[in-house]
């Protein structure tokens, strides 16, 4: 069967505010019906400008926005039948919860019976049954955000756009609402475009993530693909990865020999089919390390478990720079000798092991700086990245 036509299509979108501020420089993107897509990037990358163009609040200098194959050029905001949800809730303070949710339905001229039924359904959807008569001022921040979501979904929009909707909430509430938000979007089947600068939000919520920088798209992919195979070291750094080493890939020493990347900390074997020889960046993910036997000093400090030898692992020897306890894991900063200057790497090591033979550490057993440490690094959790090629587009300071 041929692939389904896209629900929303962006074709070569450009936007410039002045000669020095190019907001968008040729953005192409398609979004399928029912898909949740996050626009992710640093401040000024153009993601909010792109959302405003989709909504009709901005007009592109070039390019087209199409909905189900029909151009939206010249279609005003109120005729696009899109839902908008913002960080500041934008609720009407003089209306109660039910009337806030009903606002768009009344503007559309729906009958009172249908409005009451739809409002009741929306209150149930966002877990606010019985809240219809409450004032907005009686609600917590999380409850107000649920009302804002219900109001956006009540008219059954063709597309729901969310611009940093959880940004004003504290971390615990943000994580709770994030789970609820994904469940609600899945239940309704609405197509959603979610703007955020928070990597964790995008990874948890999205079917696909669009990484943006300086008005251009750097990478589009599923959360799993973005995390395991960033397109370049800009994407890796933006996702929070820190273990990025210059690497040179040379032709195999002999036919059939495995590929090896040369790095400042020594040769590093690669898994899978290698790319062409050349210069790259080696990403070693923070979960790639496990503790190995590190001599009598490690045992004396109670630091480490001793896994069975695994021939594919790379032994990395260094010393502890810092270590913090994070409940489920330890964040360990390790200094590794290198020919020119030492390299510092950071790894997340599990705090507890189920097996008594591989017993984890208590928080009061953190190793002191200078403690020798041996780590096993697994090549399957390392990736060669293309060298970063910065975009020529100037950042949009308003995006």
Is 236 part of a structural domain of the chain?
A: no
Is 189 part of a structural domain of the chain?
A: yes
Is 399 part of a structural domain of the chain?
A: no
40 plus 82 within the same structural domain: yes
264 plus 337 within the same structural domain: yes
315 plus 196 within the same structural domain: no
CATH number, domain with residue 211: 3.40.50.300
pLDDT digit string (tens) for the chain, length 399 residues: 444 568 999 999 999 987 777 899 999 999 999 999 999 999 889 999 999 999 999 999 999 999 999 999 999 998 999 998 877 768 899 999 999 999 999 988 999 999 999 999 999 999 999 999 999 999 988 899 899 999 999 999 999 999 988 877 777 778 888 888 999 999 999 999 999 989 999 999 999 999 999 999 999 999 999 999 999 999 999 999 999 999 998 877 666 667 889 999 988 888 777 788 899 999 999 999 888 754 434 433 333 333 444 557 888 899 999 998 887 788 999 999 988 889 999 999 887 644 333 444 444 567 788 889 888 898 888 999 988 765 443 333 334
272 plus 170 within the same structural domain: no
Distance, in Å, from the CA atom of 99 to the CA atom of 119, rounded to the nearest integer, reads: 9
Is 199 part of a structural domain of the chain?
A: yes
248 plus 352 within the same structural domain: yes
171 plus 253 within the same structural domain: no
Question: What's the pLDDT at 307?
Answer: 41
Max Cα-Cα span within the chain: 79
Strands 192-196 and 159-163: parallel
CA distances from 315 to 67, 151, 371 (A): 54, 56, 17
28 plus 160 within the same structural domain: yes
Collapse the DSSP code of 225 into the 3-class scheme (helix H, G, I; strand E, B; otherwise coil) and give the result: helix
- Give DSSP secondary structure letters for 291-308: E---HHHHHHTT----PP
Distance, in Å, from the CA atom of 165 to the CA atom of 51, rounded to the nearest integer, reads: 13
281 plus 215 within the same structural domain: no
277 plus 190 within the same structural domain: no
* Residues near 162 by beta carbon (within 8 Å), at least 6 away in sequence: 85, 192, 193, 194, 195
Structural element, H or E, at residue 249? strand 244-249
Question: What's the pLDDT at 72?
Answer: 96
Asked if residues 285 and 381 have their Cβ atoms less than 8 Å apart, the reply is yes
Is 313 part of a structural domain of the chain?
A: yes
Please state the φ and ψ torsions of residue 123, each to the nearest 5 degrees: -60, -40
Beta bridge partners of residue 219, listed in sequence order? 211
Is 36 part of a structural domain of the chain?
A: yes
Is 1 part of a structural domain of the chain?
A: no
Question: What's the pLDDT at 389?
Answer: 66
121 plus 197 within the same structural domain: yes
Distance, in Å, from the CA atom of 266 to the CA atom of 288, rounded to the nearest integer, reads: 17
pTM over 0.95: no
151 plus 221 within the same structural domain: yes
**Tally of structural domains, the chain:** 2
Asked if residues 4 and 377 have their Cβ atoms less than 8 Å apart, the reply is no
213 plus 85 within the same structural domain: yes
Q: Provide the token pair at 254.
A: 């002999």
Question: Which residue segment(s) compose the domain that 158 sits in?
Answer: 8-228
CA distances from 219 to 27, 156, 227, 273, 289 (A): 12, 30, 11, 21, 27
Question: What's the pLDDT at 166?
Answer: 82
> What is the layout of strands, in order, in the sheet containing 372-377?
289-291, 372-377, 314-325, 329-336, 343-350
Query: Length of the chain in residues, anyone?
Result: 399
Is 169 part of a structural domain of the chain?
A: yes
Q: Hunting for tokens 């917590």 — which residue is that?
A: 140
């Amino acid at each position: 069967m041929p692939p389904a036509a896209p629900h929303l299509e962006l074709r070569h979108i450009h936007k410039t505010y002045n000669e020095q501020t190019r907001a968008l420089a040729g953005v192409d993107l398609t979004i399928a019906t029912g898909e949740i897509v996050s626009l992710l990037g640093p401040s000024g990358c153009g993601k909010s400008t792109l959302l405003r163009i989709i909504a009709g609040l901005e007009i592109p200098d070039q390019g087209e926005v199409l909905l189900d194959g029909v151009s939206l050029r010249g279609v005003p905001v109120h005729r696009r039948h899109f839902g908008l949800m913002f960080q500041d809730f934008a609720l009407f303070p003089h209306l109660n919860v039910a009337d806030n949710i009903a606002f768009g339905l009344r503007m559309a001229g729906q009958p009172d019976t249908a409005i009451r039924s739809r409002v009741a359904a929306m209150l149930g959807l966002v877990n606010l049954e019985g809240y219809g008569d409450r004032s907005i001022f009686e609600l917590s921040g999380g409850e107000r955000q649920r009302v804002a979501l219900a109001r956006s979904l009540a008219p059954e929009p063709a597309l729901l756009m969310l611009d940093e909707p959880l940004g004003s909430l504290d971390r615990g509430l943000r994580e709770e609402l994030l789970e609820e938000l994904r469940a609600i979007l899945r239940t309704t089947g609405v197509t959603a475009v979610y703007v955020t600068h928070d990597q964790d939000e995008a990874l948890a919520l999205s079917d696909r993530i669009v990484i943006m920088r300086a008005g251009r798209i750097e990478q589009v992919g599923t959360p799993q693909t973005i995390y395991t195979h960033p397109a370049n070291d800009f994407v890796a750094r933006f996702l929070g990865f820190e273990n990025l080493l210059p690497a040179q890939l040379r032709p195999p020493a002999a036919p059939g020999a495995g590929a090896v990347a040369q790095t400042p900390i020594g040769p590093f074997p690669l898994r899978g089919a290698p790319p062409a020889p050349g210069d790259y960046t080696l990403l070693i993910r923070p979960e790639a390390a496990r503790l190995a036997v590190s001599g009598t000093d490690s045992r004396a400090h109670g630091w480490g478990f001793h896994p069975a030898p695994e021939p594919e692992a790379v032994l990395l020897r260094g010393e502890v720079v810092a270590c913090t306890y994070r409940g489920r894991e330890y964040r360990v900063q390790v200094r590794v000798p290198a020919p020119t200057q030492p390299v510092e790497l950071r790894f997340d090591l599990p705090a507890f092991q189920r097996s008594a033979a591989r017993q984890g550490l208590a928080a009061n057993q953190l190793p002191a700086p200078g403690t020798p440490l041996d780590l096993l690094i697994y090549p399957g959790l390392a990736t060669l990245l293309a060298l970063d090629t910065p975009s020529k587009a100037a950042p949009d300071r308003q995006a």
